[in-house]
Amino acid sequence: MLLAQPARAIPPFARQTGLACEACHTLPPELTPFGRRFKLSGYTLTTRPPLVNDIDDYKRNTLWLTDLPGIAVLAQLNYSHYNRAPPDTGQPYPAHAQSDTFQFPDQFSLAYAGAVSDKVGAWMQLTYNGQAGSVGIDNIDIRYSDHTYDNKWLWGITANNYLTFQDVWNGIGSYTIPNFNTVSLATGGVAGAGTTGPILNALGPGVVAGIGAYVFWNDSLYFEVTAYHSAVAGGSSPVVDSVSLAANGGAVDRFAPYARIAYERDWGYHSAEIGGSALYVNWIPSVGYISKQQQLAANEAAIAAGTPGTPPYTPSQTFNPGVINRYTDLSVDWQYQYNGQHNIFGFLGHVTHERQQNSNQLVAATFTGASSPVYSNPTDTLTQAVVTGEYFYNRRYGGLVSLTRTRGTWDPLLNGGNGSPANQYETFELDYVPWLNFRLILQYDVYQVVANNQSPFNLSNATFPNSPGFTNIRAGDNNTWVLGLWMDY
């Protein structure tokens, strides 16, 4: 499951509030303490008087429209260059793919962002994805929020389609820093590649939708509970169709509960947060599983129809709702932010541990199907740590260094090759921001460890039967330069 990164900042919020980007962002998408409170308040803060207003007989507002809707245009372009051109898997070596790519655009979005009423706000985004070549529903977050008279308690409800999109800190989730949507291995820019991560990061637009409630107490303690259900884009409703499941690699069965707690303390120019989250997902994998009963029934039906030997089930289409993997993700995240008059720096990140209990119907030792097992182990674990340091001067020049480390149990059937899901890479980024809504990015991703099935080079060289001459493959072949442009209006 490879997702587009969410848009980073929304000029309609600036138009609505009259505040420049820096009120809410150190640099987009990272939020300042003010930006966090704006989001938690349901995007409702406004200084624009209504153009159209209506009240009922009880003086309750029934309509509140400003002169202009909060529409934004957002674009990301980039040019990526890989350290080595991967071989063309369809042609004999030395045929190879190009070593660079222009994404023009990488993403192009239209979004509504802003207040819907005095207590309801929304962020709704439609995105053209350059890699997919199609337009689709992107991030949606609709909020209701209110607070007590003394501001001691703030509470709200969020309905969103991207697990962690509602979060207001940047150490974890959809707005983890670094956030620029590079076309590199780390973001799945090469077909079939993409570094392994927890399912926490994978439940996005077109996969899930959820409703949750949150409270923010005493301007410091945050608690949220949200439940997500499958919301497969382009599929039938309710979700039963194997084809729609295949599009996302699976679907959430019933509801996936997600709980989040965080404590923030602000003092002087400093803001610090420590938090944790827990996610439990019953996941229906799209694995082409055919039960023996299904095969038997299919064969009987075929015989009855007079066409023995041509059962209507094929591994690529068949789906058994009884096959469920269970994921438990536990995370700790932190964020320190110095938001000074000229200097901004931050230190943030997270550690996530995932336990994946595979359906015994799919595990080699207990496999009950008619085709092939999918997992080597009944239980797989994955631990990922991301640590990022960043510095910006006057919101104009800056950069960051980010380290990602992923380790887990070796599962050859799941991960291919020797079964390791490990990856280890660093991201170095330089930023030049001549205008707050126009940012140039130079990024270099350096890979020390890349697992077999995550690399376009396939480190075991097992899937290049046409390329025997393609040798000396190493993780560093995946290193990527990216020149990016992000802008919005």
Partner 1 sequence: MSKSVTHLAMAAAVALACTVFGTAWAAEISIPPDPGARDAHTLVSFACSKCHGPHANGISISPLFPILAGQNSIYIQEQLKLLRQHSRADPHARAFMWGISHALTDQQIVGLAQYFSSQPAVSGRPSTNPELAAKGKEIYENGVPEPHRVIKCIECHGENSAGTNTVPRLAGQHAGYMALQLHYYRDGLRENKLMNRNVKNITDDQIAAVIEYIGTLSGETSPNDTSPPASPDDSSN
Binding site for partner 1 (CB under 8 A): 14, 17-20, 22-23, 33-34, 37-38, 45-50, 53, 55, 58-61, 64, 117-120, 124, 137, 140, 142-144, 146-147, 149-152, 155, 157-159, 161, 205-206, 209-211, 219, 231-237, 266-269, 339-341
> Cα angle vertex 373, ends 370, 374, to 5°?
135
For the CB of residue 376, give the shortest distance to partner 1 in the complex, in Å: 35
Asked if residues 30 and 169 have their Cβ atoms less than 8 Å apart, the reply is no
Query: How many angstroms separate the Cα of 233 from the Cα of each of 9, 108, 248, 419?
Result: 25, 19, 9, 31
For the CB of residue 306, give the shortest distance to partner 1 in the complex, in Å: 37
For the CB of residue 137, give the shortest distance to partner 1 in the complex, in Å: 5
Q: Considering beta carbons, is residue 204 or 408 the nearer one to partner 1?
A: 204
Q: Considering beta carbons, is residue 88 or 219 the nearer one to partner 1?
A: 219
For the CB of residue 483, give the shortest distance to partner 1 in the complex, in Å: 29
β-pairing, 256-267 with 208-217? unpaired
Burial of 49 (0-12, 13-18, 19+ CB in 10 A): exposed
Q: Considering beta carbons, is residue 186 or 284 the nearer one to partner 1?
A: 284
For the CB of residue 319, give the shortest distance to partner 1 in the complex, in Å: 17
For the CB of residue 377, give the shortest distance to partner 1 in the complex, in Å: 34
* Number of neighbours of residue 477 by Cβ within 10 angstroms: 20
Helix (H), strand (E) at residue 34 = helix 33-40
Query: How many angstroms separate the Cα of 272 from the Cα of each of 34, 113, 323?
Result: 13, 27, 42
The long-range contacts involving 369-373, CB below 8 angstroms and separated by at least 24 positions, are: 369/289, 369/290, 369/291, 369/292, 370/290, 370/291, 370/292, 370/294, 370/295, 371/288, 371/289, 371/290, 371/315, 373/413
Q: Considering beta carbons, is residue 342 or 465 the nearer one to partner 1?
A: 342
Q: Considering beta carbons, is residue 264 or 445 the nearer one to partner 1?
A: 264
For the CB of residue 334, give the shortest distance to partner 1 in the complex, in Å: 19
Find tokens 């990856």 and name the residue.
Answer: 423
Q: Considering beta carbons, is residue 53 or 372 the nearer one to partner 1?
A: 53
* Number of neighbours of residue 327 by Cβ within 10 angstroms: 23
For the CB of residue 61, give the shortest distance to partner 1 in the complex, in Å: 6
Asked if residues 205 and 163 have their Cβ atoms less than 8 Å apart, the reply is no
Q: Considering beta carbons, is residue 133 or 238 the nearer one to partner 1?
A: 238
Nearest Cα to 9, choosing from 104, 121, 116, 123?
Answer: 123
Q: Considering beta carbons, is residue 121 or 285 the nearer one to partner 1?
A: 121
